[in-house]
Structure 1
Amino acid sequence: MVMLKPARLLDLGCGSGADLQPLRARYPDMQMIGIDRSAAMLAQAAARTPRWRRWLPGVLGGRQTALVRADIARLPIAPRSIDMAWSNMALHWQADLPATLREVQRCVRVGGLFMFSMLGPDTLRELRGALAEAGLPLRAHRFIDMHDVGDMLVEAGFAEPVMDMEHITLTFDTPAALYRDLADTGGHCALAARPRGLLTPRARARLDDALLRLRDDGRLPATMEIIYGHAWRGEPRQTEDGRAIIQFERGRRR
């Protein structure tokens, strides 16, 4: 169990604000900052946040909630000013995850906590297989293995990473229902070399047929691999100008 009472919490990729109220209930006295690139999502998050929390920061002291439009890869946050960073199902869309993790580490204070969830490489494996069977280029995002994410955390300056995962299988009546559900998530393939055009009706029919052959009891499966992780912001290993930091502990006299 993690015992922490953060004074400042950063929600990375807060989206429509679904996590803001549960986090507020868990840590009622903290200042919360929600970051997202989408103005439309932030408007929904603002609608979830009680107006008195948004407009009375002077009365609330450190307990207000701020919503900021920004890219989580370039955070408008002072170094070492955050006690806890939180990200729920947003990191997998980052084009350069190691750089994003370094940016998060920059903002978290020494001894602060980073907790997150993200999609793993088994996500949409049925769709990727169907694309290959239909002879179509990859249109599904490539997700990163949890062990590689753990290594990236350490390289970014976090310590003691703990990683876990689970598989969840969703089912759909038709390929169209699967496509519609994926579109409704607002996510997309972030591969730089992804196909830019639409599928032709003939290519779409081949993909539909390949997916339909995967049906189990009349339902089309779609696997989601969910990665969970947390890590602590470790002591800096070098100064800002690149010099290594070597720590010595004075021994106790007997």
Structure 2
Amino acid sequence: MLQAEFDQFALEYQQQHAASIRLSGETPDFFAQYKIDDVAARLAHSGVKPRRILDFGAGVGNSLGPLRAAFPDSEITLLDPSSQSLDIARKRFPGQADFRHFDGETIPYDDASFDLAFAACVFHHIPENLHVALIKEIERVLTGGGSFFLFEHNPWNPLTTNAVRNCAFDENAVLINSRDVRKRMAAAGFSKSDVVYRIFFPRVLARLRPLERFLTRMPMGAQYFVHAVKPAV
């Protein structure tokens, strides 16, 4: 289902994404960049330098440029069920990552293959009954002490729900609140996780964005991420 859905929109993804977020005043590049900046800052604070990175549900590769800039020495894998999306990503960034097709169930890598896994607004496209199994797959391919960052749209933010409602490739999306994400991550084996809310001000109020560091626990940001660390063996 996911392959057919995203193959259908792959060629128009960038334009449709940009149109859906126009009320924010920002571009898809802005949203891709801030996510990787957040991941890099949190890992740097812990002194972690991931050697192998998995971008789960990477689509057309919007996160690859920021990932490559933040982690220039890392091996990066883009995983997606849409072959057409991966073809676009491969043409955009030739030779900069391993572009791997995914059957939607089993990640085609051995246990403990990655130090960092990252999912950028992917799970609201996946049926809820599959979430725990897929998160468990991500947990399986992480090394002990490896991090998983799951970014999602916040269903409690009206600008976010408007953007999703007006985006063709989000037609079948079901937004997930952070509490349910944490429950599913715990069921998949991540015993502890942390929620951070992001993007409180549109571009017209960008001068207020330095205040966001004081608001990250307030569940009204346009997006949020849940960060979990796989227990070390």
Residues 109-148 of structure 1, C-alpha deviations (whole Å, 9 max, x = no match) = 11001112112333537998xxxxxxxxxx7643222012
Q: Which has the larger displacement, 102-111 or 158-167?
A: 158-167
Structure 2 equivalent of residue 252 of structure 1 = none
Is the Cα–Cα contact under 8 Å of residues 35 and 72 in structure 1 kept in the other structure? no
Give the drift of 1:160: 2.9
CA distance in 1, matches of 2:85, 2:134: 21
Distance (whole Å) between structure 2 residues aligned to residue 88 and residue 126 of structure 1: 16
Structure 2 unaligned blocks of 5 or more? 1-41, 166-170, 203-219
| 1:160 aligned to which of 172, 187, 192 | 192
Q: Tell me the equivalent position of 2:226.
A: 229
Distance 1:18 1:88 in 2: 10
Displacement of 1:168 after TM fit? 6.5
- C-alpha separation between the residues in 1 aligned to 2:162 and 2:65? 33
1:110 to 129, 144, 148: 144
Distance 1:81 1:91, change over 3 A: same
RMSD: 2.7
Amino acid at match of 1:19: S
Worse overlay, 28-37 or 152-161: 152-161
Partner of 2:168: none
Query: Does structure 1 conserve the Cα–Cα contact (< 8 Å) formed by 2:125 and 2:172?
Result: no
Question: Within 5 Å, which residues of 2 pair with 1:35-184?
Answer: 35-50=79-94, 54=95, 65-95=97-127, 96-122=130-156, 123-124=160-161, 141-166=173-198
Match for residue 30 of structure 1? 74
Q: Is the 8 A contact 1:94 1:100 kept in 2?
A: no
Amino acid at match of 2:138: V
Equivalent residues, number: 162
Say if 1:25 and 1:118 are closer, same or farther in 2 by CA, change over 3 A.
same
Tell me the percent identity.
28
Q: Whose Rg is larger?
A: 1
- Asked if the contact 2:193/2:229 (under 8 Å) is kept, the reply is yes
Structure 1 window deviating more from structure 2 (3-12 vs 140-149): it is 140-149
- Compared CA separation, residues 112 and 168, structure 1 to 2 (3 A): same
What is the alpha-carbon distance in structure 2 between the residues aligned to residue 127 and residue 2 of structure 1? 30
Superposition deviation, residue 166 in structure 1: 4.6
1:167–1:225 contact (8 Å) kept in structure 2: yes
Unaligned runs of 5+ in 1: 55-63, 129-138, 171-222, 237-254
Larger relative strand fraction: 1
Secondary structure, counterpart of 2:53 in structure 1 = strand
TM-score by length of 1: 0.56
More helix by share: 2
Look up the match of 1:210: none
Find out whether 1:5 has 2:49 as its counterpart. yes
Segment drifting more, 139-148 vs 84-93: 139-148
Please tell me whether the aligned partners of residues 9 and 31 of structure 1 are also in contact (alpha carbons under 8 angstroms): yes
One-letter code aligned to 2:60: S
